[in-house]
Amino acid sequence: MDALISSLMAYGYWGLFLLMVLDPILPTPSETIITLAGTLIAAKKLDLIPAVTAVAAGSVIGSVIAYAIGRYLGRHVLLKYGRWVGIKPAHMVKGERWLNRYKILMLIFGRYIAGVRQVIPYLAGIGRISWFDFTLYTVIGSILWAVTFLVLGRTLTTLVHPVAASIAHYWYIVAPVVIIGLGVFIWRRQRTRHARQVPEDQRNTQNTPNA
């Protein structure tokens, strides 16, 4: 995680852009990457608007490349090589079913669905969705995607820092409370498990035939 943050700080917006271009081709933890970029926004290392632009632009370009692969190379290429980039036949079946039913929604919000996000642009190309429709809804979805996780990262950082500072300041109060709470939780869990075990042992004894 520290290495990823260091890389984002070193390469900045261009690093974000390149990672998003590669996202449909290589299985990258893009949500984590964008959220971490949001923490850098909170730390004043990056700015929101350029970061949104980098993430959205990279996502659009990567998706268009994947769309072109699906459109011009076809399904057999995805079936043959998809496993190398984390795309399974089950993902294709699920993605096609949803894309046929909810084309616009999937092009905009499909990237939020694990196991489907990566395959949607390929399937859009295979299904011959028009270039205009695909590009339009991909741009909208990419901007929403970027804003969602960048703002999430920034907001979490803003909320967590004061809490962490308070815990560090009052550790001598917080630590005993946490330890006592954990002890009570374990004790109650063991007590409940024992209470369930006793009737079961009694039933087993009753069901045992006398010699």
Q: What is the pLDDT of residue 23?
A: 85
Q: Are residues 12 and 81 in the same domain?
A: yes
- 24 within a domain of the structure (yes/no): yes
Distance CA 24, CA 134 (A): 15
In a domain, 56, yes or no: yes
Same domain, 100 and 180: no
Q: Are residues 194 and 146 in the same domain?
A: no
Let me know if residue 174 belongs to a domain: yes
* Tokens encoding 58: 């990279």
Contact 15, 46 (CB under 8 A): no
29 with 67, same domain: the answer is yes
Domain range for 57 is 2-162
pLDDT in tens, the chain (211 residues): 455 555 655 678 888 898 889 888 877 778 888 888 888 888 888 899 999 999 999 999 999 999 999 899 888 888 887 777 777 778 788 888 888 888 899 999 988 887 788 889 999 999 899 999 999 999 999 999 999 999 988 888 777 655 444 444 544 554 565 567 666 667 676 777 666 665 555 555 555 555 4
Tokens of 76: 């057999």
Query: What pLDDT was estimated at residue 9?
Result: 58
With H, G, I as helix, E, B as strand and everything else as coil, classify residue 209: coil
Q: Are residues 156 and 184 in the same domain?
A: no
Q: Work out the burial of residue 148: count CB atoms within 10 Å of its CB; fewer than 13 is exposed, 13-18 middle, 19 or more buried.
A: middle
Burial of 77 (0-12, 13-18, 19+ CB in 10 A): middle
- The count of structural domains within the chain is 2
Nearest alpha-carbon partner for 34 in 145, 115, 113, 141: 145
Do 151 and 174 share a domain, yes or no? no
The verdict on residue 151 lying in a domain is: yes
The per-residue pLDDT for 64 is: 95
8 Å CB contact between 173 and 59 = no
Closest Cα partner for 107 from 146, 155, 139?
Answer: 139
Q: Is the same domain home to 102 and 182?
A: no
- Of 116, 97, 99, the C-alpha closest to 107 is 99
For residue 120, CA distances in Å to 37, 105, 117 come to: 24, 11, 6
Is 153 found in the same domain as 82?
yes
